[in-house]
Amino acid sequence: MPDKKYTLLEISEKIKTPLATIRDWEKKGLITSSRVNGNTRMFNLNQALNVKRKLSGKSIGIEYKVHKSKPTNFSAIELFSGAGGLALGLSNAGLEAKMLVEIDADSVKTLRKNRPKWDVIEGDIREVDFKKHRKKIDIVIGGFPCQPFSYAGNGKGFGDTRGTLFFEFARCVKEVMPKIAIAENVRGLIKHDGGKTLNTILHMLEKLGYRVACKLLRSQFLDVGQKRERLIVLAIRNDLDYPFIFPRPKDYIFTLKDVLKDCPKSDGAAYPKRKYYIMSKVPEGGYWRDLPIKLQKEYMQGSFYLGGGKTGTARRLSWNSPSLTLVCSPAQGQTERCHPKETRPLTVRESARIQSFPDNWKFEGNLSSQYKQIGNAVPVNMAYFIGKCIIAMLQGTYNNKTMIKEEHVQNQLEFGVKK
Ligand SMILES: C[S@@+](CC[C@H](N)C(=O)[O-])C[C@H]1O[C@@H](n2cnc3c(N)ncnc32)[C@H](O)[C@@H]1O
- The pLDDT of residue 164 is 82
Domains in the chain (CATH in brackets) are 5-55 (1.10.1660.10), 75-253+378-412 (3.40.50.150), 256-301+308-376 (3.90.120.10)
Q: Note the pLDDT of residue 64.
A: 96
Known catalytic residue at 214: no
Evaluate: CB of 379 within 6 angstroms of ligand 1: no
Q: What is the pTM of this model?
A: 0.94
Amino acid 2: pLDDT: 57
Contact 97, 77 (CB under 8 A): yes
Edge-first strand order for the sheet with 5-7 is 5-7, 40-44, 33-36
Ligand 1 contacts CB of residue 340 (under 6 A): no
For ligand 1, atom 10, the nearest C-alpha belongs to 80
Query: 125 CB less than 6 Å from ligand 1?
Result: yes
**Does the beta carbon of 378 lie inside 6 Å of ligand 1?**
yes
At 119 the pLDDT is 97
Query: What pLDDT score does 210 carry?
Result: 97
Asked if residue 82 has its Cβ within 6 Å of ligand 1, the reply is yes
> 238 burial class (0-12, 13-18, 19+ CB within 10 angstroms)?
exposed
Q: How many CB atoms lie within 10 A of CB 224?
A: 28
Ligand 1, pocket-test mutation among 77, 80, 127, most atoms within 8 A of CB: 80
Mean pLDDT in order along the chain per 10 residues (419 residues): 82 96 93 84 94 89 96 97 98 96 98 97 97 96 73 50 83 98 91 83 93 95 96 96 96 96 96 95 95 92 82 94 93 89 97 98 98 96 98 95 77 42
Position 307 scores a pLDDT of 73
Q: Whose CA is nearest to atom 16 of ligand 1?
A: 103
Of 100, 103, 182, best ligand 1 pocket probe by most atoms within 8 Å of the beta carbon: 103
Query: CA-to-CA distance for 399 and 283, rounded, in angstroms?
Result: 43
Measured between alpha carbons, how far is residue 310 from residues 276, 280, 287, 315 in Å? 19, 19, 9, 9
Residue 147 is predicted with a pLDDT of: 58
Mapping DSSP to helix (H, G, I), strand (E, B) and coil, where does residue 9 land?
helix
Which run of H or of E encompasses 384?
Answer: helix 380-395
